[in-house]
């Protein structure tokens, strides 16, 4: 890795809590990163593990279920994300409007009309009000009983529609499944400033830019736009609103003055990162981390668990039946292999395998 790329990755790893002091709680991690890709349940939890010390997946489940401090829903880029309950309100109102048209189109491709989808949303509302929380499968049975198609990806996009409209979220754990709940039942009413009629989009764009940089700097306006799933003009608007908070950089990338460092931080020690780790989702270009392994770690929209060594992807790994398997891209030095084996033991500890 060239020095420029190495320095960039080192700075971003520091922003991502992969170096320096570990976060104390799952909420601290998610607050720093703002939104953690959450379509893979194990991957989202492993993102917490890599940025904390001594916690377990049960601590994440507790935040989702008992504390109600974390939740999962469709937000940035039309993808499931793990966010804090405190950040849900403004992120939902800011990032979901662009998803409506795509959601309608995908439902049509799955054989569900807008009228049927809206009827299904009403059924979800009634079922959760009467019997919630409910799993995806349970809601699917309710919708299918009304003669509405749920096969293929139809059910997923119906649930996404209910989420995009601010009706439901994925909240508590029901056994090993994420349960859906009504927002009004689980979180209560939105703070007055986040009510639709009072929502200030410019204030939200400024907050988006500020919070994105806290967990992803240094970054560009295009990085922000891609990560948030918003037009480039919105990213520029948000960054312009906080121009006075930004520090100057020779490379033209943006960072907050408060996080400006006098020296480049160290790269993290060898780490095992889970699938869809945030280190691969904050920027338009993944090559500084993946290098020539882009098509190995990312395959057809899937992001495999990988080992980070000296700031670069050095292997992919898997865990099945409690057995850990590492596939290195090149021979690893003995001390690196030993460090990754220690990481594997911590993954097992974290997951309770």
pLDDT one-digit tens code per residue, 254-273: 999 987 777 889 999 999 99
pLDDT tens across 42-51, in order? Answer: 999 999 999 9
For residues 222 and 212, the answer to whether their CB atoms sit within 8 Å is no
Mean pLDDT of 94-98: 95
Instruction: Say yes or no to pLDDT of 237 above 90.
Output: yes
Instruction: Say yes or no to pLDDT of 3 above 80.
Output: no
Phi/psi of residue 140, nearest 5 degrees: -60, -40
pLDDT tens across 32-80, in order? Answer: 999 999 999 999 999 999 999 999 999 999 999 999 999 999 999 999 9
SS (H, E, C) the chain: CCHHHHHHHHHHHHHCCCCCCCECCHHHHHHHHCCEECCCHHHHHHHHHCCECCCCHHHHHHHHHCCCCEEEEECHHHCEEEEEHHHHHHHHHHHCCCHHHHHHHHHHHCCCCHHHHHHHHHHHHHHHHHHCCECHHHHHHHHHHCCCCCCCCHHHHHHHHHHHCCCEEEEEEECCEEEEEEHHHHCCCCCHHHCCCCCCHHHHHHHHHHHHHHHHCCECHHHHHHHHCCCHHHHHHHHHHCHHHECCCCCCCECEHHHCCCCCCCCCCCEEECCCCHHHCCCCCCHHHHHHHHHHHEECCEECCEEEECCEEEEEEEEECCEEEEEECCCCCHHHHHHHHHHHHHHHHHHCC
Nearest 10 degrees: Cα torsion 276, 279, 283, 285: -90
Q: Check the CA dihedral 252-256-257-260 and report its sign.
A: negative
For residues 119 and 161, the answer to whether their CB atoms sit within 8 Å is no
For the ranges 23-27, 263-267, 298-302, 316-320, the maximum mean pLDDT occurs at 23-27
Mean pLDDT of 222-232: 97
**pLDDT score recorded for residue 234:** 98
Predicted confidence band of residue 349 (pLDDT cuts 50, 70, 90): very high
pLDDT tens across 126-175, in order? Answer: 999 999 899 999 999 999 999 999 999 999 999 999 999 999 999 999 99
**pLDDT score recorded for residue 261:** 75
**pLDDT score recorded for residue 1:** 53
Mean pLDDT of 191-212: 90
Predicted confidence band of residue 353 (pLDDT cuts 50, 70, 90): confident
Mean pLDDT (the chain, rounded): 95
Mean pLDDT of 218-238: 97
**pLDDT score recorded for residue 292:** 92
Longest dimension (CA), the chain: 63
Mean pLDDT of 96-103: 94
Tell me the residue length of the chain: 353
Mean pLDDT of 303-327: 95
- Percent of the chain scoring above 70 in pLDDT: 99
**pLDDT score recorded for residue 257:** 93
Q: In the sheet that 168-174 helps form, which strands lie side by side, from edge to edge? A: 36-37, 80-84, 70-74, 168-174, 177-182
Instruction: Say yes or no to pLDDT of 2 above 60.
Output: no
Mean pLDDT of 267-294: 96
Instruction: Say yes or no to pLDDT of 312 above 60.
Output: yes
């Amino acid at each position: 890795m060239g020095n420029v790329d190495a320095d960039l990755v080192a700075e971003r790893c520091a922003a991502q809590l992969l170096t320096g002091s570990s976060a104390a709680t799952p909420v601290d991690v998610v607050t720093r990163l703002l939104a953690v890709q959450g379509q893979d349940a194990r991957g989202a939890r492993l993102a917490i593990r890599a940025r904390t010390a001594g916690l377990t997946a049960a601590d994440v489940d507790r935040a989702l279920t008992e504390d109600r401090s974390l939740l999962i829903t469709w937000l940035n880029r039309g993808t499931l994300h793990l966010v804090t309950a405190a950040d849900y309100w403004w992120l939902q109102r800011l990032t979901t409007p662009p998803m409506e048209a795509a959601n309608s189109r995908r439902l049509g491709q799955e054989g569900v009309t807008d009228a049927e989808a809206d009827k299904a949303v009403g059924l979800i509302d009634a079922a959760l009000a009467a019997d919630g929380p409910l799993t995806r499968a349970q809601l699917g049975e309710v919708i299918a009983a009304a003669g509405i198609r749920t096969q293929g990806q139809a059910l997923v996009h119906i649930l996404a529609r209910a989420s995009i409209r601010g009706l439901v979220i994925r909240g508590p754990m029901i056994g090993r499944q994420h349960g859906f709940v009504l927002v009004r039942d689980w979180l209560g009413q939105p703070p007055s400033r986040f009510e639709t009629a009072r929502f200030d989009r410019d204030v939200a764009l400024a907050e988006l830019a500020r919070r994105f940089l806290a967990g992803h700097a240094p970054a560009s306006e295009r990085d922000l736009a891609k990560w948030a799933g918003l037009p480039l003009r919105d990213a520029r608007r948000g960054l312009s609103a906080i121009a006075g908070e930004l520090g100057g950089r020779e490379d033209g990338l943006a960072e907050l003055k408060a996080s400006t460092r006098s020296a480049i931080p160290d790269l993290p020690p060898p780490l095992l990162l889970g699938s869809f780790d945030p280190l691969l989702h904050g920027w338009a270009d993944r090559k500084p981390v993946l290098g020539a392994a882009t098509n190995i770690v990312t395959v057809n929209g899937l992001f495999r668990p990988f080992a980070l060594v000296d700031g670069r992807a050095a292997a992919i790994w898997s865990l099945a039946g409690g057995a850990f398997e590492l596939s290195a891209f090149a021979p690893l030095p003995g001390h690196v292999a030993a460090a990754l084996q220690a990481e594997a033991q911590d993954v097992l500890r974290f997951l309770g395998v």
